[in-house]
Structure 1
Amino acid sequence: MYKVMLVDDDYPVLELLSEAIPWDRLGVELMGVYENGAVALEAAQTVMPDIVVTDIGMPRLNGLELIRALKELNPAIRVVILSCHSEFHYAQQAMKLNVQDYLVKDTLDPQDLETLLGQMKASLDEETSRFMKNDQLRQLVDRNREQHKEAFIRGTVHTPLLNELSWINEAEAFGLATGGSFLPVICYIDGQRSARQRFVTDDVLRFAVNNLLEEMLAEVKTNIVNFTYDALRSFIIAPVVGGIKTNPYDLAEALFRRIQAASAGTIKVGLSFIIGTMCKTPQELKQELNGLLGSSGQRFYMYSNSLERKNKQVFSSADLFASYDEAANEFREILIEGKADQVQPVIRRWMQFIREERFRPDTVKDWAMKLMLDLKLKLQSMQMFRNHFSVEILHRELLEIDTLEEMELWMIHFFESSLVVAGEVKELSKRTEVLDACQYVTLNLNRRITLDEVAEHLFMNPSYFSRLFRKETGETFIEYVNRMKVERAKELLDQTSLSVAKIGETLGYDNHSYFIKMFRSVAGTTPQEYRNGNS
């Protein structure tokens, strides 16, 4: 709604107009009435009016001075002069200030002002509509250009380069100078999960980052072009003219440091860059762009706001899953015993271990995913965990994570959220004794567990505890213990090379045959058949 300001040192006039004009029906808002130009100008510094109706002769700042000051702030403002001065020279000065109309108080009819305001609103509506159409057209042109640039860079990367002259012509149409060599760079958006949440959609996030890159690259005026590749990555290609004494890598690094600072200061998004090697031909550039896309291993171990040159990665040949059981036990204990203060230190220690060993990123993600799912199932089986994270969501989020640093934050969020949910479940349960019993079993799977032992631990009568447990869980206490031991045996069969007999001993079974019989009754197969089927 357009805002109207009334300015006059004659208060009865202000009162008359403020009450006589049907502001709402006209579709305008009376933002305020002011007794002199100085007060009105001060108010306009906070909220700029679209229309001002003002007297000329006022103390401190007269109407003509007010109009002149407002026009400097908003050249499109509409103005009506309302004055007792009918002399020509006042009207002449008003015309020079592009005043829309001049009404004399002595012959004023509020209907005249109402008619003028209606005409001004219509004019503003038309101007706004025209501006929006022009803005939409400009956005459409810009969007189409960005889509063409994205199609161009994807075509360069993924399709055969059959006609270099055609490629050069198209590259030059986007502003890329092709007379010398090229220095390609890949740009990553850091902290993509939090960035996507803050910007709501990928399109808005990409638009904000692309605008910043375009503005920063335009400042250097060296025909460097940014090409969006996908929601989180873009290529920046810098032309390098022969004969320049300054090292182009040094120039690039200085530029990207400025871009990182600008991005952090304005749109609050971290950006990281990997600088490729110099290319002399479009074909060489194509190969280098593919090489940069393939540098995900280097990217995985980069910190936020990193700037590195592309280098060949050497990954550890050690088996990360050899440490899986140790990690699973440690995290299981944290969740079951509610050790919230241990979540971040333990996760960071494991992430540091992974960073120092430098395992392959896909192996690290497989390790983390298995850890999340095993712990999720473990807590669900203990009835301490609701379906808070679906498997599909966990898998999708983990696949999208492109750095170890972000994976660390993701795991911390998972465990801290799981602790909160498990705590809520325990607090809301009417039978915390059952949850305590489940927790006791999980922490003592390495030995024989009896119903009497657990009942004594809970200070309960064994018969009453047995009936209560079955009522709350739908299975007997012994059935639950056996099921938990089989789940643990499956983990050891999958993740270790321990013999079946040794696994039975680890779970507190002295009788090897009894362990196999119990396993088969619960799992429907023998331990060895289970291992062979999963190998």
Structure 2
Amino acid sequence: MYNVMLVDDDYPVLELLSETIDWQSKGLRLLGTFENGAMAWEHAQTVMPDILITDIGMPRMNGLELCAKIKERKPDTRIIILSCHDDFAYAQQAMRMNIQEYVLKESLQPEDLVRMLDRFKKGLDEEKHMSGEQRKLHALVNDTLELRKEQAFKNFIHQPLLSSDKWMQEANGFGLFVGDEVCLPAIGYVDDYQQLKNRFASEQTLRFAVANVIQEVLSEADARVLHIAYSERKQLLLFSYKRSLKTNIYDVASVQIRSIQSAMLKFLKIRMTFLLGAECAAPETLKRNLQAMFAGENQRFYLAAGSIAKSKSEESATDDLFIHYDAASSELRETMIGRRAADACRLADLWMERIAREKYPPAAVKDWVLKLLLDMKLKLRSLQYVRTGYSADTLHKEISEIDSICELRDWLKGQLTAAAEGDGEASVSRRPEVKEACKYVTLHLNRRIGLDEVAEVLHLNASYFSRMFKKETGETFIEYVTRMKMERAKEMLDQTACTVGEICEQLGYDNQSYFIKTFKAHSGVTPMEYRG
């Protein structure tokens, strides 16, 4: 008989579990039910539990403190955490203590708990016949096997296959290509990776959590599936089967994958997207298939989050995405100057939808979005609306880690909202009248702008407005207007094919010679020299 301890400050839960489960028929002895961790720990001094079922949030001693104390005294104790906290921070701590199960009370059914207890008992029975050294060796062998399996498949995919026969022997050891079986590869991608990194203490914890849930689902699967925790973002599944006219392996694999997706959402609030490869009857075929799947960034980039798709080659758009840059930049500039976060996000959605339809190369899309964002932030900073705290290197690092257009869209919208609302950036101390004046200038760079005109718009005395503007910004109003026009001239020289005369006209200058002289005074070179 194995000892079970049930701890929860919610009496109905204690009553339900203690009375619904036939503990004795399961070969289990219920030591008692306890209302908090302190009471349970006091009783454990007499008899330590083999299985602990505990809530987290309790008075005097919470569930995680109790788990830590129990584990310190009896490391092989199996633990099930019950909680109404729909927050992975708790589960994250639980995993560090090697707690086997984390279950939300609102989704718990007694029969689910019975299945967990049966599995725990089976494991305890197996360990019962092992010595202490054997148990340690058993755990070490399991850990070593996982590492060896992971490295073996990474070498198989990315290194030359020197001996097909030798690798076939190793594959047989993992349960692949046994007899006349073939296999179907699948790659699972963790969606919204940027956001998930903030929820988890480390990438290693995230990887461990994802692998744990997948292995748990596959342990009850009907199909034979080999799982390799390939990386923090990617999980590799290899379905083994015999060819049959009665069985469609894609249907079988899709059912198992949907079970994994459902469990990931339920327990970790994580979405995963899967790519299914082609049937492989030999190591050489599997290697080529996996290499093509891992290299297929275009298809992965445009898959809807949480979807399942068959791997295929994707054709990219033939035109250059950057021919649309000026239009997107102009639209975005106007909304951001108006500090209209919602409009900016709608624009981001529209452009991302257009990009997804055309399927531009992912690298070009990320370069395009990064330039758009950096130019927008530079414009806001030049207007002295904000002092940006995000460096170009930081933004480049973040965007390089994004592997899907859904995540890129959400990331861009987050950046636009933060810039519009000033989140994460220190606003310059500025009177609202001066902010409005700066905004007015930016929206009317196509014509001459005088101090009297702006003062009238703001309903201020021109002399008073002039002194206030100089005091707040450190430059006169005319100096500010000139600087903004010259910055805009640089943008047009960089990004358009307009002649110097056309740019001069579009910025409200009547005299081209005066415009060139002003540009050189501001930039140190003439417009033609600047364009190079």
TM-score norm. by structure 2 comes to 0.74
Distance apart, 1:308 and its partner CA? 0.3
1:128 and 2:74 matched: yes
Equivalent runs, 1:487-502 vs 2, <5 Å: 487-502=487-502
Is the alpha carbon distance of 1:440 and 1:124 closer, same or farther for their aligned partners in structure 2, counting shifts above 3 Å?
closer
Equivalent runs, 1:66-215 vs 2, <5 Å: 74=49, 127-128=73-74, 141-179=141-179, 180-215=181-216
Task: Give the whole-Å Cα distance in 2 for the aligned partners of 1:527 and 1:126.
Answer: 73
Is the alpha carbon distance of 1:43 and 1:526 closer, same or farther for their aligned partners in structure 2, counting shifts above 3 Å?
same
1:49 alignment counterpart: 40
Query: 3-state SS of the aligned residue for 1:176?
Result: coil
Task: Give the whole-Å Cα distance in 2 for the aligned partners of 1:76 and 1:347.
Answer: 52
Is the alpha carbon distance of 1:424 and 1:247 closer, same or farther for their aligned partners in structure 2, counting shifts above 3 Å?
closer
Is the alpha carbon distance of 1:43 and 1:226 closer, same or farther for their aligned partners in structure 2, counting shifts above 3 Å?
closer
1:318 alignment counterpart: 319
Is the alpha carbon distance of 1:440 and 1:159 closer, same or farther for their aligned partners in structure 2, counting shifts above 3 Å?
same
Is the alpha carbon distance of 1:314 and 1:125 closer, same or farther for their aligned partners in structure 2, counting shifts above 3 Å?
closer
Task: Give the whole-Å Cα distance in 1 for the aligned partners of 2:298 and 2:258.
Answer: 22
Query: 3-state SS of the aligned residue for 1:479?
Result: helix
Query: 3-state SS of the aligned residue for 1:219?
Result: coil
Is the alpha carbon distance of 1:483 and 1:148 closer, same or farther for their aligned partners in structure 2, counting shifts above 3 Å?
farther
- Any unmatched runs of 5+ in structure 2? 6-17, 19-29, 53-68, 78-96, 98-131
Query: 3-state SS of the aligned residue for 2:162?
Result: coil
Query: Which amino acid is 1:262 matched to?
Result: A
Is the alpha carbon distance of 1:140 and 1:434 closer, same or farther for their aligned partners in structure 2, counting shifts above 3 Å?
farther
Distance apart, 1:243 and its partner CA? 4.0
Q: Does the CA contact (< 8 Å) of 1:322 and 1:495 recur in 2?
A: no
Query: Which amino acid is 1:305 matched to?
Result: G
1:505 alignment counterpart: 505
Equivalent runs, 1:322-401 vs 2, <5 Å: 322-401=323-402
Query: 3-state SS of the aligned residue for 2:74?
Result: helix
1:257-282 CA distance string (max 9 Å, x none): 12111211122111111111122221
The more displaced of 164-173 and 291-300 is 164-173
Distance apart, 1:294 and its partner CA? 1.2
1:466 and 2:457 matched: no
Distance apart, 1:52 and its partner CA? 4.3
1:480 alignment counterpart: 480
Distance apart, 1:336 and its partner CA? 1.8
2:453 alignment counterpart: 453
2:422 alignment counterpart: 421
2:279 alignment counterpart: 278
Q: Does the CA contact (< 8 Å) of 1:182 and 1:278 recur in 2?
A: yes
The more displaced of 441-450 and 507-516 is 507-516
Query: Which amino acid is 2:399 matched to?
Result: L
Is the alpha carbon distance of 1:209 and 1:422 closer, same or farther for their aligned partners in structure 2, counting shifts above 3 Å?
closer
1:90 alignment counterpart: none
Task: Give the whole-Å Cα distance in 2 for the aligned partners of 1:415 and 1:216.
Answer: 39
Q: Does the CA contact (< 8 Å) of 1:384 and 1:422 recur in 2?
A: no
What is the aligned residue count?
A: 433
Distance apart, 1:360 and its partner CA? 1.9
The more displaced of 362-371 and 430-439 is 430-439
Task: Give the whole-Å Cα distance in 2 for the aligned partners of 1:220 and 1:430.
Answer: 63
Distance apart, 1:467 and its partner CA? 3.5
Q: Does the CA contact (< 8 Å) of 1:176 and 1:223 recur in 2?
A: no
Distance apart, 1:527 and its partner CA? 2.0
Runs of 4+ in 1 over 4 A off after TM superposition: 40-43, 45-48, 50-53, 73-77, 123-127, 129-143, 422-426
Task: Give the whole-Å Cα distance in 1 for the aligned partners of 2:263 and 2:497.
Answer: 53
2:520 alignment counterpart: 520
Task: Give the whole-Å Cα distance in 1 for the aligned partners of 2:259 and 2:149.
Answer: 24
Is the alpha carbon distance of 1:126 and 1:436 closer, same or farther for their aligned partners in structure 2, counting shifts above 3 Å?
closer
Is the alpha carbon distance of 1:394 and 1:149 closer, same or farther for their aligned partners in structure 2, counting shifts above 3 Å?
same
Distance apart, 1:346 and its partner CA? 2.3
C-alpha RMSD of matched pairs (Å): 3.3
Task: Give the whole-Å Cα distance in 2 for the aligned partners of 1:274 and 1:162.
Answer: 28
1:7-39 CA distance string (max 9 Å, x none): xxxxxxxxxxxxxxxxxxxxxxxxxxxxxxx9x
TM-score norm. by structure 1 comes to 0.73
Percent identity over the alignment is 41
Query: 3-state SS of the aligned residue for 1:235?
Result: strand
Task: Give the whole-Å Cα distance in 2 for the aligned partners of 1:386 and 1:173.
Answer: 59
Q: Does the CA contact (< 8 Å) of 1:177 and 1:223 recur in 2?
A: no
Q: Does the CA contact (< 8 Å) of 2:224 and 2:241 recur in 1?
A: no
Task: Give the whole-Å Cα distance in 2 for the aligned partners of 1:522 and 1:332.
Answer: 23
1:412 alignment counterpart: 413
Is the alpha carbon distance of 1:263 and 1:373 closer, same or farther for their aligned partners in structure 2, counting shifts above 3 Å?
same
Task: Give the whole-Å Cα distance in 1 for the aligned partners of 2:192 and 2:71.
Answer: 42
Task: Give the whole-Å Cα distance in 1 for the aligned partners of 2:416 and 2:467.
Answer: 33
Is the alpha carbon distance of 1:312 and 1:43 closer, same or farther for their aligned partners in structure 2, counting shifts above 3 Å?
closer
Distance apart, 1:289 and its partner CA? 0.9
Task: Give the whole-Å Cα distance in 1 for the aligned partners of 2:175 and 2:228.
Answer: 11
1:300 and 2:307 matched: no
